Amino acid sequence: MSVLELSGPLLRLHPEDPVAIARHDLAAGEAIARHDRASGEPVAGGEHPLLTREPIPSGHKVALRTLEPGEVVHKYGQAIGVSTRRIVAGEHVHDHNLISPSRRPALPSPHGGGSPRPTSGASGRTATREETGSPLKFVPEPGAVPTFAGFVRPDGRVGTRNYVAVLSTVNCSATVVRRIAAAFSVPGALDEQPGVDGVIAITHGSGCGLSREGEGFEILRRTLTGYAQHPNVGGVVVVGLGCEVNQVSELVEQFELAPGIPVERMTIQHLGGTAATIRAGVQAVRDLLPIAGNVQRTEVPVSELVLGLNCGGSDAWSGVSANPVLGAAVDRLVAAGGCAVLGETPEIHGAEHLLASRAVSSEVASKLLDRVSWWEQYAAADGGNLDNNPSPGNRAGGVTTIEEKSLGAVAKGGSSPLSAVYRYAEPVTERGLVFMDTPGYDPVSVTGIVAGGATVVCFTTGRGSVFGCKPAPSLKLATTEDLYRRMPDDMDFNCGPILDGRASIEELGDALWQQIIEVASGRPTKSEELDFGDQEFNPWQLGSVL
């Protein structure tokens, strides 16, 4: 069977996979001929055509042969689940007859024939140097390094946008912060400062009722600091209530802003209330605008780009079209000396061995595997399992288990070596492909990645997302032609041609790479045209609420 391919209605991703994906809705009783993989011609004699035994929705899996109870099922050539009963060829394979390997003890390795995932005792997992450092698949052609038009900050970092940020220390000052920023959203408010892209409100639901010493407080401070010193921010106003745990003065003291980036601070209690603080905040922004606007775009090498990677509203096509296309663009960025940040730790579960095998050192690989182990324990402590991650929309789109989702998600990282692993919202300083420990929940994940320094975000989606993330522009990549046409106001890039053979992954990777450069140079994304991105700031909240 490994020498056979299937005709148009089905797509098999690896010659040994016992399942294939329905390219479109299939009715019960459809006969699907088998084709020779080399010639593409129908096979004469031999095996009979595959007969669908029930309706198969588009993107969902169909069994190509009989699967016995307890059999490990592969897709992408990797384990995605275990059959819970006998599944006959032509049957629908989904959550009614397939479960995550993580829900079954002592299962075979999900390596698909490779070495088992290395484990260790107290820290969870380790990796040896011999298992790391896979070669880069993409090698750039000799020639000039591409450039983009960015804002060069005094400390040498380069932004793709130029905002003034109004930042709340605590939820109690959030409304005041939003009112201050809203004063500059009216038509004409920024006409005298064409170099400023806008005034953004950075608000959140925390800042008090938590311990001053602990991971939760540390993450909040680190995230707020990351946004204040972001290369896409040219001036900052910090507003607090006055009595909160997250004090204004202490927060601002840990900012390490580039020389010439101004910061103003104020508290509602000290200024005498809401109205007085709004007036003072509006005036503070007006004073900062000429300073922030006194910078022009300059041509710089693309090695100065930091690209954030995220997926949301994923479907079965995410790992086939949009994520591999984004991975191809990432390889081009890394080859040019830039940085790409992959996150969403729960969504590499079951595929972490693939990333660890590409780590530049055993220390980097072990750090990644330790974070996955932490998440396994974190989910179990609350009576959960990482297989709870796929959402109802993911499952409706054909994704059955977290392993299946993860194997598609890691494709966003392309083929580049993994050079570093960071904590949530930690400043990213390494070049190349790096990983940041973030939750799978999109707003929280992207908030951490942007706080780490991502100046552009690429967001792949199969079900459809309307995500924005100021101050970083967000490109949304549609997995299918149907989604791209159905949500034209939200989708920036169409990866659908992959699925009908009109374009290759490499061709679309090149096209996306060019569009990333254009967006970095100022071309607005669909979410920016809709003025999305102010409400999506959502720091990861850990620790006790006191």
How confident is the model over 327-345, as pLDDT tens digits?
Answer: 999 999 999 999 999 999 9
What whole-number distance in Å separates Cα of residue 149 and Cα of residue 527?
Answer: 20
272: Cβ contacts below 8 Å, ≥ 6 apart: none
DSSP 325-366: HHHHHHHHHHHTT-EEEE--GGGGTTTHHHHHTTBSSHHHHH
pLDDT score, position 543: 81
- Structure-block tokens of residue 267: 């508290």
The pLDDT assigned to 504 comes to: 94
For residue 471, cis peptide bond before it (omega within 30 degrees of 0): yes
Distance CA 167, CA 173 (A): 9
DSSP strands (E only) in 58-189:
61-63, 72-75, 78-83, 92-93, 98-99, 147-152, 158-159, 163-168
Q: Give alpha helix (H) positions in 295-441.
A: 322-335, 352-356, 362-381, 392-396, 402-409
> How does pLDDT run across 217-268, given as a tens digit for each residue?
999 999 999 999 999 999 999 999 999 999 999 999 999 898 899 999 999 9
Cβ neighbourhood burial of 247 (10 Å; 0-12, 13-18, 19+): middle
Confidence of residue 374 (pLDDT cuts 50, 70, 90): very high
Instruction: Give the Cα-Cα-Cα angle 469, 473, 478 (nearest 5 degrees).
Output: 90
Closest CA to 303 of 432, 174, 412, 427: 432
Total-model pTM: 0.91
Q: What are phi and psi of 321, to 5 degrees?
A: -115, -75
Per-residue pLDDT at 387: 78
Q: Is the pLDDT of residue 3 over 50?
A: no
- Buried/exposed code over 200-223 (b: 16+ C-beta within 10 A; e: otherwise): bbbbbebbbebeeeeebbbbbbbb
Asked if pLDDT for residue 314 goes beyond 80, the answer is: yes
In this structure, are residues 490 and 526 in contact, taking their beta carbons and an 8 Å threshold?
yes
- Gyration radius of the chain over CA positions: 25
142 or 468: which carries more pLDDT confidence? 468
User: According to the model, what pLDDT value does residue 132 have?
Assistant: 39
pLDDT digits (tens, 9 = 90+) for 147-175: 999 999 999 999 999 999 999 999 999 99
Please tell me the predicted confidence (pLDDT) of residue 528.
Answer: 97
Indicate the range of 124-128, 290-294, 401-405, 530-534 predicted with least confidence.
Answer: 124-128
| C-alpha to C-alpha distance for 99 and 451, rounded to whole angstroms | 36
Map tokens 């007006």 to a residue. 286
Q: Indicate the pLDDT class of residue 544, thresholds 50, 70 and 90.
A: confident
Q: Which residues lie below 8 Å from residue 246, measured CB to CB, with a gap of 6+?
A: 169, 170, 206, 207, 208, 217, 220, 221, 224, 240
* Domain 4-99 CATH (choose: 2.40.10.10, 3.30.70.20, 3.30.360.10, 2.30.130.110): 2.30.130.110
Report the SS3 class of residue 518.
helix
Secondary structure class of 16 (helix, strand, coil)? coil
pLDDT at 129: 34
Nearest to 22 by CA among 5, 43, 2, 8: 8
Contact call for residues 232 and 450 (beta carbons, < 8 A): no
The half-sphere exposure of 328 on its side-chain side, counting CA atoms within 13 A, is 19
pLDDT of residue 37: 53
CATH numeric code, 148-289? 3.40.50
> Is 511's pLDDT higher than 90?
yes
Pair 107, 409: CB distance under 8 Å: no
Other CB atoms closer than 10 Å to residue 488's CB: what's the count? 11
Question: Nearest Cα to 453, choosing from 434, 480, 432, 427?
Answer: 427
DSSP per-residue codes, 28-90: TT-EE-EEETTT-PBPPSSSPPEE--S-B-TT-EEESS-B-TTPEEEETTEEEEEESS-B-TT
Over the stretch 85-143, which tens digit does the pLDDT of each residue have? 999 999 999 999 999 987 764 434 333 333 333 333 333 444 443 343 444 455 556 56
- Give every CB contact of residue 528 below 8 A, 6+ residues apart in sequence: 468, 473
Residue that is written with structure tokens 């490990």 in the block: 72
Q: How many C-alpha atoms does 256 have within 13 Å on its Cβ side?
A: 5
| pLDDT for 360 | 96
Which helix (H) or strand (E) element contains residue 248?
helix 248-253
CA distance 124 to 108: 18
Delimit the domains of the chain by residue range: 4-99, 148-289, 306-529
How far apart, in whole angstroms, are the C-alpha atoms of residue 404 and residue 17? 13
> Span 477-494, mean pLDDT?
97
Q: Per-residue pLDDT for 276 more than 80?
A: yes
Mean pLDDT of the chain: 89
